Structure 1
Amino acid sequence: MISFKFLIAAGLFVAFATSDVFAAEVATLKELVAAIRDGQEGDTVEVTAGIYRLQEPLELKSGMTLRGAGADKTVITHADDWKPSTKTLPDPEMTTKGMDTYAYLIRLANRASGVTISDLTLKGPQLHGAVFGFENEDLHLHDLRIRDFLWSGIRTFAMKRAKIHDCDFVDAGGRWQRGGTPGVKGGITGGAIFAIWMKESEIAHNRFRRTQMEKENEFYGIKCRQGKQSRIHHNTIEVNFSIEMPFENDEDVEIDHNICHGTISIPKHAGGPVPESNRTFHIHHNYMRHSYSIEFVRNGVEIDHNLFDFDTKQDVGNLISGFGKAPAKGPASFHNNLVSNPGRGVIWINEPYNRLVVRNNHIVTRTTATPRKEGLFGFSPDCDFSTIAIRNNFIECKGQPRPLMRNDESYGATIQNNRLENVSDTDRYENLPTDAQIGLETPLFFQCGVHEELTVNGWETGRTVQDVEQE
């Protein structure tokens, strides 16, 4: 094993090497740029505390590690005169053609594997994003603060076996309409993490916040076009679209133990194919705060053991909403959830949707601001209602009575063994009792959010870290 130290003319550049490892500690911008540009695959670059203002992206090679002294200590940002055009925004999403992939602080070398970036702040606001990567495997991003970018904080194509955890995303995308496109508002936008074709990856223990955007503009915490065998868990997502995974053929995606202040959007034309595993999404043990919680439709979905906890003053949405027209074959299962104060209703699906089971949930409605009086379940008249079952649920309407169903055709569903209190249309169906348990099969108890910051115990929730700090 060999070890040595040397100085380069640029300043105090201290490095050491072994037969397998090379590491450099840098303290100036010139040293940082040289260490990445001239370094070899597998090198580690340690960046001391300070602010580093880049003129162009750092391009990391396979196996490289870029590590700072801490997110509050090492800040990588752009020089004032590095201001890429916003004419390429919104980017074309599904292809790099027409994108400015150099409008990012860090650009991973194409197909570079085993790159690690940690313990830094990556900051805009003039750039499209913080990190761009194309066909990268084993990417590891952690303990980063990513803030103030125009399009997307992390923007990747064909990411495989990635781990993104313990990061803080603040206004990390979706701000391009503020950045110099006159007359353009809303529309297509980016997200803090925007991944195309993500596989076998994990996104966990990250916090997503938005402080500088107009409320009417959409912004996505996690946006993904096709995910396979991936897990999104223990994140706290305080933006209006928490997770969007639309259109492409998703498979075995687990979304669990998150705090979501906005919508989880998973629509696919006609619901999409069901993979061999029989599951596209498993959404469980999340704490959901927005009355428009899940955007449908998708086939092969299971939604269970979540707490949906809505404000009666914000009653604009259906908990599950489907806006399409193409018939979807299902299946989907909605079970063992607690639902407090659904606004318009629990499930409304515009297109015909079959093989849906709603069972063993406890649903409590209260008089809303409007007030809402429509049925809790609304289905297309063209559904095959012999495949739809609502059974073993405890549904109680406190204050304003609500009907179970919204249209005459929906009464063709199997409605069985439900405990119904102050539900106004019980004369429209038999609701035959059985010996099956009504309501949750087991008590709902779990911890969620960043490092399990919130405890859900039935209808009750413990305080988050933010609650304590605000006090």
Structure 2
Amino acid sequence: MLVRTFQLLVALACSLALVMSCLAAPVTTTEALVAAVNNGAEGDTIEVGPGTFELSAPLEPKSGMTIQGAGQDETIITGVASWKPSTKTLPDPEMKTQGLDTNAYLVRLPDKAAGVTMTGMTLRGPHVHGAIYGFGCTDLHLHDLRIQDTLWCGIRTFAMQRARIHDCEFIDAGGRWKRGGEPGVDGGITGGAIFAIWMKESEIAHNRFTRTQESKADEFYGIKCRQGKQSRIHHNTIEVNFSIELPFENDEDVEIDHNICFGTISIPKYAGGPIPESGRTFHIHHNYFRDSYSIEFVRNGVEIDHNLFDFDLQKDHGNLISGFGKAPAGGPATFHNNLISNPGRGVIWINEPYSNLAIHNNHIITRTTETPRRDGLFGFNRECDFETISIRDNIIECQGEPRPLLRSKESYESTIQNNQLTNVADADRFENPTTDNHPGLKEPLKFECGVHGELIVDGWQTRPAG
């Protein structure tokens, strides 16, 4: 009986503590916020009321903590004017923590923190290196945040697993430093709004990335990651010069889809890199690309399909897919069911020998560009294994200036068949036998993309949703 009574009292006390926690008033001062985080327990929810909270050192939320603001326009966390971390450590070392100033962030997660949530607030510079730093964090949940006006990056993580970053706004969140000088004067482009090293089983979705500075020195990356595995980047609107960069490391099963990309997606790896057991490194599909230098290559195990590439005739600076390396890459890669309007220099140019490339069921329309461009639409290294390269079942229309299909005589050894060609300058240099297949897209291209599907792609046309 005594044991049962004790159990009931414990349960009552726990329930009362939960009720009191729920009824606790939001913190309204910086001192109260810092005290709530420092003195709170793992799993606590800390509500932060409207106002501006000026920190002099990073907040360090414990595992399981939720820090809930009153809204992006209501709760603003920033640094005091005197908190100006040195920029001598920038650019940071990227792949290691030694030499990285982890105290130059508004929020520093304890190493291996689990289950931290932050939502409903603005995290703003201008003098800190970034907004949030974490090492070895799991189940990090960041949503409905505005991260603005930071020097190096917005969110900086190492070995992040099962993270969800969604419905956030990144404004000038990085790329504004000057080594050893006055912060914010000029900077490099190697920072990024989200900068993750070794990201696994994570989702980055429905975020908006914008840049208000016009100076080229202020350009930066939207999403930058050095090794992504089993992760998805989708429904983001990224209005910066390099939309997404995942270079060098051994990536696997990364899905990039339904984004609006005003800049490049960069995925190069020396010799194309290993192919994971699944057979796929990247699947890039149902995106809307606006820059003629859209995808930086090479990588093995890639599929690029069902995208709209829609370029400005006045900005014909890029090849849609560009590879700049020297080491031969074995592939494979497929480029299919895409719509391409106004490629600049060309559709694919790969400097290094590349094998096992299939280009099929695309519809390409070229028009006379500003320069104007007259190169072949596909440029391959003369040492490619052309028996493994196929260009088939495409519709290619050259309106105005004629364009060759290929740039080197060796490329004509590729398999070229059943393409519907209009005004292609070198059509007499290769056979193009017909088959029973239907040239062009296998089905109409229609999808929504960007933050919460804000834009509808309907064939060659786009329109705002709703």
Bin for the TM-score computed over the shorter chain? over 0.9
Which residue number in structure 2 is paired with residue 59 of structure 1? Answer: 60
Q: Distance in 2 between matches of 1:23 and 1:44?
A: 10
Which residue number in structure 2 is paired with residue 228 of structure 1? Answer: 229
Is 1:244 equivalent to 2:245 in the alignment? yes
Which residue number in structure 2 is paired with residue 421 of structure 1? Answer: 422
Q: Is the 8 A contact 2:87 2:183 kept in 1?
A: no
Which residue number in structure 1 is paired with residue 372 of structure 2? Answer: 371
Q: Distance in 2 between matches of 1:16 and 1:78?
A: 33
Which residue number in structure 1 is paired with residue 115 of structure 2? Answer: 114
Which residue number in structure 2 is paired with residue 412 of structure 1? Answer: 413
3-state SS of the aligned residue for 2:26? strand
1:218 Cα offset (Å): 3.6
Deviations 1:213-242 (A, max 9, x none): 513554100000000000000000000000
Which residue number in structure 2 is paired with residue 441 of structure 1? Answer: 442
Note closer, same or farther for the CA distance 1:179–1:192 as it changes in structure 2 (3 Å cut).
Answer: farther
Residue 92 of structure 2 aligns with an amino acid whose one-letter code is D
Which residue number in structure 2 is paired with residue 148 of structure 1? Answer: 149
Note closer, same or farther for the CA distance 1:183–1:217 as it changes in structure 2 (3 Å cut).
Answer: closer
Query: Greater CA deviation, 215-224 or 203-212?
Result: 215-224
Residue 365 of structure 1 aligns with an amino acid whose one-letter code is T
Note closer, same or farther for the CA distance 1:136–1:21 as it changes in structure 2 (3 Å cut).
Answer: farther
Q: Distance in 1 between matches of 2:107 and 2:185?
A: 27
3-state SS of the aligned residue for 2:452? helix
Percent of aligned pairs sharing the same letter: 70
Which residue number in structure 1 is paired with residue 167 of structure 2? Answer: 166
Question: For residues 35-434 of structure 1, what are the structure 2 equivalents within 5 Å?
Answer: 35-177=36-178, 180=181, 187=188, 189-215=190-216, 217-434=218-435
Note closer, same or farther for the CA distance 1:464–1:82 as it changes in structure 2 (3 Å cut).
Answer: farther
1:25 Cα offset (Å): 2.3
Q: Distance in 2 between matches of 1:120 and 1:151?
A: 20
Q: Distance in 2 between matches of 1:357 and 1:93?
A: 35
3-state SS of the aligned residue for 1:17? helix
Q: Is the 8 A contact 2:176 2:188 kept in 1?
A: no
Note closer, same or farther for the CA distance 1:85–1:302 as it changes in structure 2 (3 Å cut).
Answer: same
Note closer, same or farther for the CA distance 1:458–1:188 as it changes in structure 2 (3 Å cut).
Answer: closer
Q: Is the 8 A contact 2:88 2:180 kept in 1?
A: no
Note closer, same or farther for the CA distance 1:385–1:201 as it changes in structure 2 (3 Å cut).
Answer: same
Q: Distance in 2 between matches of 1:376 and 1:366?
A: 12
3-state SS of the aligned residue for 1:164? strand
Note closer, same or farther for the CA distance 1:29–1:450 as it changes in structure 2 (3 Å cut).
Answer: same
3-state SS of the aligned residue for 1:427? helix
3-state SS of the aligned residue for 1:60? coil
Residue 336 of structure 1 aligns with an amino acid whose one-letter code is N
Deviations 1:96-135 (A, max 9, x none): 0000001000001110100000000000010000000000
1:17 Cα offset (Å): 3.3
TM-score by length of 1: 0.94
1:375 Cα offset (Å): 0.2
Deviations 1:323-367 (A, max 9, x none): 000000000000000000000000000000000000000000000
**Gap runs ≥5 in structure 1:** 6-14, 466-471
**Gap runs ≥5 in structure 2:** 1-10
Q: Distance in 2 between matches of 1:4 and 1:108?
A: 28
Q: Distance in 1 between matches of 2:217 and 2:376?
A: 28
Aligned length: 456
Deviations 1:122-154 (A, max 9, x none): 000100000000000000000000000000100
Residue 212 of structure 1 aligns with an amino acid whose one-letter code is Q
Deviations 1:395-432 (A, max 9, x none): 00000000000111111111110000000001110011
Query: Greater CA deviation, 211-220 or 183-192?
Result: 183-192
3-state SS of the aligned residue for 1:451? helix
1:18 Cα offset (Å): 5.5
Q: Is the 8 A contact 1:175 1:213 kept in 2?
A: no
Residue 332 of structure 1 aligns with an amino acid whose one-letter code is A
Q: Distance in 2 between matches of 1:218 and 1:459?
A: 29
Note closer, same or farther for the CA distance 1:142–1:3 as it changes in structure 2 (3 Å cut).
Answer: farther
Which residue number in structure 2 is paired with residue 11 of structure 1? Answer: none
1:266 Cα offset (Å): 0.3
Q: Distance in 2 between matches of 1:128 and 1:170?
A: 14
Residue 343 of structure 2 aligns with an amino acid whose one-letter code is P
Q: Distance in 2 between matches of 1:88 and 1:382?
A: 43
Residue 41 of structure 2 aligns with an amino acid whose one-letter code is Q
Q: Is the 8 A contact 1:152 1:173 kept in 2?
A: yes
TM-score by length of 2: 0.95
1:187 Cα offset (Å): 4.6
Q: Distance in 2 between matches of 1:170 and 1:3?
A: 45
Q: Distance in 2 between matches of 1:445 and 1:360?
A: 16
1:180 Cα offset (Å): 2.7
Q: Is the 8 A contact 1:22 1:44 kept in 2?
A: no
Residue 367 of structure 1 aligns with an amino acid whose one-letter code is T
1:189 Cα offset (Å): 1.7
Q: Is the 8 A contact 2:176 2:184 kept in 1?
A: no
Q: Is the 8 A contact 2:234 2:258 kept in 1?
A: yes
Q: Which runs of 4+ in 1 moved over 4 A?
A: 1-5, 18-24, 181-188
